[in-house]
Amino acid sequence: MRLIKVKNYEDMSQKVAEMMMEKIRESNKINLGLATGGTPKGTYKKLVEAYEKKTISFQHVTTFNLDEYVGLAPNDPNSYHYYMNESLFDHVDIQTSNTYIPNGIAEDLKEECVQYDHLIKISGGIDLQILGIGQNGHIGFNEPGTSFESGTHIVKLDESTINANARYFNRLHDVPTHAVTMGIQSILQSKEIILMVSGEEKSNALQRLLNGEVTEDFPASALKNHPNVYIIADEKALSSVFVS
Ligand code: GLP
Protein backbone atom coordinates (compact mmCIF):
# COMPACT_ATOMS: atom_id res chain seq x y z
CA MET A 1 0.00 0.00 0.00
CA ARG A 2 1.32 3.41 -0.89
CA LEU A 3 0.24 6.34 1.27
CA ILE A 4 -0.21 9.75 -0.33
CA LYS A 5 -0.73 12.54 2.21
CA VAL A 6 -2.85 15.53 1.27
CA LYS A 7 -3.93 18.58 3.23
CA ASN A 8 -7.70 18.35 3.32
CA TYR A 9 -10.86 17.00 1.72
CA GLU A 10 -10.58 19.40 -1.21
CA ASP A 11 -7.04 18.30 -2.03
CA MET A 12 -7.95 14.63 -1.63
CA SER A 13 -10.85 15.08 -4.06
CA GLN A 14 -8.60 16.86 -6.57
CA LYS A 15 -5.84 14.28 -6.32
CA VAL A 16 -8.15 11.30 -6.78
CA ALA A 17 -9.99 12.97 -9.67
CA GLU A 18 -6.62 13.56 -11.37
CA MET A 19 -5.56 9.95 -10.84
CA MET A 20 -8.85 8.73 -12.29
CA MET A 21 -8.65 11.08 -15.27
CA GLU A 22 -5.13 9.99 -16.06
CA LYS A 23 -6.32 6.37 -16.27
CA ILE A 24 -9.41 7.31 -18.28
CA ARG A 25 -7.35 9.32 -20.77
CA GLU A 26 -4.72 6.67 -21.32
CA SER A 27 -7.25 3.93 -22.15
CA ASN A 28 -9.59 3.18 -25.06
CA LYS A 29 -11.91 1.28 -22.77
CA ILE A 30 -11.88 1.27 -18.99
CA ASN A 31 -13.90 -0.31 -16.19
CA LEU A 32 -14.12 1.81 -13.06
CA GLY A 33 -15.33 0.56 -9.69
CA LEU A 34 -17.15 3.35 -7.89
CA ALA A 35 -18.04 4.07 -4.29
CA THR A 36 -20.71 6.21 -2.66
CA GLY A 37 -20.98 7.96 0.70
CA GLY A 38 -19.69 11.40 1.61
CA THR A 39 -16.05 10.64 0.83
CA PRO A 40 -16.07 10.48 -3.01
CA LYS A 41 -18.65 13.27 -3.52
CA GLY A 42 -15.97 15.93 -4.00
CA THR A 43 -14.11 13.74 -6.47
CA TYR A 44 -17.24 13.32 -8.60
CA LYS A 45 -17.71 17.09 -8.51
CA LYS A 46 -14.16 17.56 -9.83
CA LEU A 47 -14.83 15.04 -12.61
CA VAL A 48 -18.01 16.88 -13.61
CA GLU A 49 -16.11 20.19 -13.64
CA ALA A 50 -13.42 18.68 -15.86
CA TYR A 51 -16.08 17.33 -18.21
CA GLU A 52 -17.69 20.78 -18.42
CA LYS A 53 -14.30 22.23 -19.35
CA LYS A 54 -14.10 19.51 -22.02
CA THR A 55 -10.89 18.09 -20.63
CA ILE A 56 -12.32 14.58 -20.15
CA SER A 57 -14.85 12.29 -21.80
CA PHE A 58 -16.59 9.26 -20.29
CA GLN A 59 -17.82 7.76 -23.55
CA HIS A 60 -15.51 4.76 -23.27
CA VAL A 61 -15.99 4.33 -19.51
CA THR A 62 -17.98 1.52 -17.89
CA THR A 63 -18.73 1.69 -14.17
CA PHE A 64 -19.58 -0.86 -11.50
CA ASN A 65 -20.73 0.43 -8.16
CA LEU A 66 -19.77 -1.33 -4.99
CA ASP A 67 -23.10 -1.59 -3.31
CA GLU A 68 -26.77 -0.71 -2.91
CA TYR A 69 -29.27 -0.79 -0.07
CA VAL A 70 -31.78 -3.63 -0.14
CA GLY A 71 -35.32 -2.36 -0.62
CA LEU A 72 -34.54 1.06 -2.09
CA ALA A 73 -35.70 1.64 -5.68
CA PRO A 74 -33.37 3.53 -8.06
CA ASN A 75 -35.55 6.65 -7.83
CA ASP A 76 -35.41 6.70 -4.03
CA PRO A 77 -33.31 9.75 -3.05
CA ASN A 78 -31.40 7.62 -0.53
CA SER A 79 -30.52 4.88 -2.99
CA TYR A 80 -27.01 4.71 -4.37
CA HIS A 81 -28.53 4.71 -7.88
CA TYR A 82 -29.95 8.13 -7.16
CA TYR A 83 -26.70 9.29 -5.58
CA MET A 84 -24.67 8.26 -8.65
CA ASN A 85 -27.06 9.88 -11.12
CA GLU A 86 -27.11 13.07 -9.14
CA SER A 87 -23.39 13.20 -8.37
CA LEU A 88 -21.93 12.07 -11.69
CA PHE A 89 -23.85 10.17 -14.35
CA ASP A 90 -26.47 12.86 -15.15
CA HIS A 91 -23.75 15.47 -15.71
CA VAL A 92 -21.25 13.71 -17.99
CA ASP A 93 -21.29 11.90 -21.33
CA ILE A 94 -21.22 8.37 -19.90
CA GLN A 95 -23.62 5.95 -21.61
CA THR A 96 -26.29 4.94 -19.11
CA SER A 97 -26.15 1.38 -20.43
CA ASN A 98 -22.51 1.26 -19.27
CA THR A 99 -23.29 2.08 -15.64
CA TYR A 100 -23.95 -0.85 -13.33
CA ILE A 101 -25.15 -0.78 -9.73
CA PRO A 102 -26.47 -3.79 -7.82
CA ASN A 103 -30.27 -3.89 -7.92
CA GLY A 104 -31.45 -3.66 -4.31
CA ILE A 105 -35.03 -4.46 -5.26
CA ALA A 106 -34.29 -7.52 -7.40
CA GLU A 107 -36.88 -10.26 -6.87
CA ASP A 108 -34.11 -12.82 -6.45
CA LEU A 109 -31.33 -11.02 -4.61
CA LYS A 110 -29.05 -14.05 -4.46
CA GLU A 111 -29.21 -14.41 -8.22
CA GLU A 112 -28.59 -10.66 -8.56
CA CYS A 113 -25.33 -11.14 -6.62
CA VAL A 114 -24.19 -14.04 -8.82
CA GLN A 115 -25.03 -12.11 -11.97
CA TYR A 116 -23.23 -9.00 -10.76
CA ASP A 117 -19.92 -10.84 -10.29
CA HIS A 118 -20.45 -12.59 -13.62
CA LEU A 119 -21.02 -9.26 -15.34
CA ILE A 120 -17.82 -7.79 -13.92
CA LYS A 121 -15.92 -10.87 -15.03
CA ILE A 122 -17.21 -10.96 -18.62
CA SER A 123 -16.59 -7.22 -18.92
CA GLY A 124 -12.90 -7.87 -18.28
CA GLY A 125 -12.71 -7.00 -14.58
CA ILE A 126 -12.31 -3.66 -12.85
CA ASP A 127 -9.28 -1.62 -13.87
CA LEU A 128 -9.49 0.96 -11.11
CA GLN A 129 -11.56 0.66 -7.95
CA ILE A 130 -12.33 3.69 -5.76
CA LEU A 131 -13.06 3.01 -2.09
CA GLY A 132 -14.05 4.84 1.06
CA ILE A 133 -13.79 3.28 4.50
CA GLY A 134 -16.26 2.91 7.36
CA GLN A 135 -15.27 3.75 10.93
CA ASN A 136 -15.32 0.01 11.68
CA GLY A 137 -13.07 -0.69 8.70
CA HIS A 138 -15.79 -1.74 6.29
CA ILE A 139 -15.20 -1.39 2.58
CA GLY A 140 -18.23 -1.45 0.33
CA PHE A 141 -20.67 -2.83 2.87
CA ASN A 142 -18.36 -5.65 3.94
CA GLU A 143 -18.74 -5.55 7.68
CA PRO A 144 -16.20 -6.96 10.19
CA GLY A 145 -16.18 -10.74 10.01
CA THR A 146 -16.78 -10.91 6.25
CA SER A 147 -14.75 -13.64 4.56
CA PHE A 148 -11.88 -12.43 2.39
CA GLU A 149 -13.11 -15.03 -0.13
CA SER A 150 -16.49 -13.36 -0.52
CA GLY A 151 -18.02 -12.40 -3.86
CA THR A 152 -21.01 -10.08 -4.20
CA HIS A 153 -23.44 -10.94 -1.42
CA ILE A 154 -26.26 -9.71 0.79
CA VAL A 155 -25.25 -8.28 4.15
CA LYS A 156 -26.99 -7.34 7.35
CA LEU A 157 -25.62 -3.92 8.24
CA ASP A 158 -23.89 -3.40 11.57
CA GLU A 159 -25.68 -1.14 13.99
CA SER A 160 -22.67 1.19 13.90
CA THR A 161 -22.96 1.46 10.09
CA ILE A 162 -26.70 2.14 10.31
CA ASN A 163 -26.01 4.88 12.87
CA ALA A 164 -23.15 6.36 10.83
CA ASN A 165 -25.24 6.45 7.65
CA ALA A 166 -28.36 7.78 9.38
CA ARG A 167 -27.07 11.30 8.69
CA TYR A 168 -28.14 10.87 5.07
CA PHE A 169 -31.71 9.83 5.97
CA ASN A 170 -34.62 11.73 7.53
CA ARG A 171 -34.92 9.26 10.40
CA LEU A 172 -32.75 6.49 11.81
CA HIS A 173 -35.71 4.19 11.27
CA ASP A 174 -35.53 4.80 7.49
CA VAL A 175 -32.00 3.37 7.12
CA PRO A 176 -32.26 -0.06 5.46
CA THR A 177 -31.01 -2.98 7.53
CA HIS A 178 -29.53 -4.89 4.57
CA ALA A 179 -27.48 -4.19 1.48
CA VAL A 180 -26.01 -5.90 -1.57
CA THR A 181 -22.27 -5.42 -1.76
CA MET A 182 -19.37 -6.53 -3.86
CA GLY A 183 -17.35 -8.90 -1.67
CA ILE A 184 -13.80 -8.58 -0.46
CA GLN A 185 -12.63 -10.95 -3.16
CA SER A 186 -14.54 -9.04 -5.85
CA ILE A 187 -12.78 -5.87 -4.68
CA LEU A 188 -9.33 -7.46 -4.51
CA GLN A 189 -9.68 -8.66 -8.10
CA SER A 190 -9.48 -5.04 -9.28
CA LYS A 191 -6.19 -4.25 -10.99
CA GLU A 192 -5.67 -1.05 -9.02
CA ILE A 193 -7.36 0.38 -5.93
CA ILE A 194 -7.55 3.89 -4.51
CA LEU A 195 -8.73 4.18 -0.92
CA MET A 196 -9.84 7.68 0.11
CA VAL A 197 -9.73 8.64 3.77
CA SER A 198 -10.75 12.05 5.07
CA GLY A 199 -11.64 13.48 8.45
CA GLU A 200 -10.89 12.85 12.09
CA GLU A 201 -13.71 10.32 12.48
CA LYS A 202 -11.76 8.00 10.16
CA SER A 203 -8.40 8.43 11.91
CA ASN A 204 -8.71 5.35 14.14
CA ALA A 205 -9.65 3.20 11.16
CA LEU A 206 -6.69 4.53 9.18
CA GLN A 207 -4.35 3.95 12.11
CA ARG A 208 -5.51 0.35 12.36
CA LEU A 209 -5.23 -0.16 8.63
CA LEU A 210 -1.68 1.16 8.44
CA ASN A 211 -0.31 -0.36 11.63
CA GLY A 212 -2.60 -3.29 12.46
CA GLU A 213 -2.69 -6.88 11.35
CA VAL A 214 -4.50 -8.45 8.42
CA THR A 215 -7.72 -9.87 9.84
CA GLU A 216 -11.30 -10.48 8.74
CA ASP A 217 -12.31 -8.52 11.85
CA PHE A 218 -11.12 -5.43 10.01
CA PRO A 219 -12.21 -5.76 6.36
CA ALA A 220 -10.01 -2.99 4.93
CA SER A 221 -6.92 -4.88 6.09
CA ALA A 222 -7.51 -7.23 3.12
CA LEU A 223 -6.11 -4.42 0.99
CA LYS A 224 -2.68 -5.29 2.37
CA ASN A 225 -2.90 -8.48 0.29
CA HIS A 226 -3.26 -6.47 -2.92
CA PRO A 227 -0.16 -5.36 -4.86
CA ASN A 228 -1.47 -2.07 -6.19
CA VAL A 229 -3.25 0.05 -3.57
CA TYR A 230 -2.96 3.80 -3.06
CA ILE A 231 -4.29 5.42 0.09
CA ILE A 232 -5.02 9.11 -0.28
CA ALA A 233 -5.46 10.51 3.22
CA ASP A 234 -5.86 14.02 4.55
CA GLU A 235 -4.27 15.56 7.64
CA LYS A 236 -7.31 15.01 9.87
CA ALA A 237 -7.51 11.35 8.90
CA LEU A 238 -3.80 11.04 9.67
CA SER A 239 -4.12 12.74 13.06
CA SER A 240 -4.02 9.45 15.06
CA VAL A 241 -1.53 7.79 12.79
CA PHE A 242 2.12 7.32 13.44
CA VAL A 243 3.88 7.40 10.08
CA SER A 244 7.57 7.80 9.48
C1 GLP B 1 -20.86 3.46 3.42
C2 GLP B 1 -20.60 2.86 2.03
C3 GLP B 1 -19.14 2.72 1.78
C4 GLP B 1 -18.46 3.99 2.23
C5 GLP B 1 -18.50 4.09 3.72
C6 GLP B 1 -18.05 5.42 4.27
O7 GLP B 1 -21.62 2.68 4.24
N8 GLP B 1 -21.24 1.62 1.78
O9 GLP B 1 -18.91 2.43 0.41
O10 GLP B 1 -17.14 4.01 1.82
O11 GLP B 1 -19.74 3.71 4.25
O12 GLP B 1 -19.00 6.40 4.05
P13 GLP B 1 -18.67 7.95 4.11
O14 GLP B 1 -17.78 8.24 2.96
O15 GLP B 1 -20.00 8.65 3.99
O16 GLP B 1 -18.02 8.20 5.41
Ligand 1 atom closest to Cα of 201?
16
Kindly indicate the confidence band of residue 244, based on its pLDDT and cuts at 50, 70 and 90. low
Instruction: Say yes or no to pLDDT of 51 above 70.
Output: yes
Concerning whether 98 is annotated as a catalytic residue, the answer is no
Per the CB < 8 A criterion, the answer to whether 79 and 73 are in contact is yes
Q: Closest Cα to atom 12, ligand 1: which residue?
A: 37
Concerning whether 136 is annotated as a catalytic residue, the answer is yes
pLDDT of the residue at 242: 72
Kindly indicate the confidence band of residue 77, based on its pLDDT and cuts at 50, 70 and 90. very high
pLDDT 10s digits, 110-159: 999 999 999 999 999 999 999 999 999 999 999 999 999 999 999 999 99
pLDDT of the residue at 105: 98
The least confident of 112-116, 191-195, 238-242 is 238-242
CA 120 to chain centroid: 15
DSSP string computed for the chain: -EEEEESSHHHHHHHHHHHHHHHHHT-SSEEEEE--SSTTHHHHHHHHHHHHTTS---TTEEEEESEEETT--TTSTTSHHHHHHHHTGGGS---GGGEE---TT-SSHHHHHHHHHHHHHHTT--SEEEE---TTS-BTTB-TT--TT--SEEEEPPHHHHHHHGGGSSSGGGS-SEEEE--HHHHHTSSEEEEEE-SGGGHHHHHHHHHS---TTSGGGGGGG-SSEEEEEETTTTTT----
Q: Is the CB of 67 under 6 A from ligand 1?
A: yes
Kindly indicate the confidence band of residue 78, based on its pLDDT and cuts at 50, 70 and 90. very high
Compute how many other C-beta atoms are within 10 angstroms of the C-beta atom of residue 138. 25
Question: What is the C-alpha to C-alpha distance for residues 177 and 170, in angstroms, rounded to an integer?
Answer: 15
pLDDT of the residue at 114: 98
Concerning whether 143 is annotated as a catalytic residue, the answer is yes
Concerning whether 127 is annotated as a catalytic residue, the answer is no
Ligand 1 atom closest to Cα of 161?
7
Q: Is the CB of 201 under 6 A from ligand 1?
A: no
For residue 179, give the nearest of 136, 139, 126, 120 by alpha carbon. 139
Q: Is the CB of 83 under 6 A from ligand 1?
A: no
Average pLDDT over residues 49-75: 98
Q: Is the CB of 132 under 6 A from ligand 1?
A: yes
Q: Is the CB of 40 under 6 A from ligand 1?
A: no
Kindly indicate the confidence band of residue 227, based on its pLDDT and cuts at 50, 70 and 90. very high
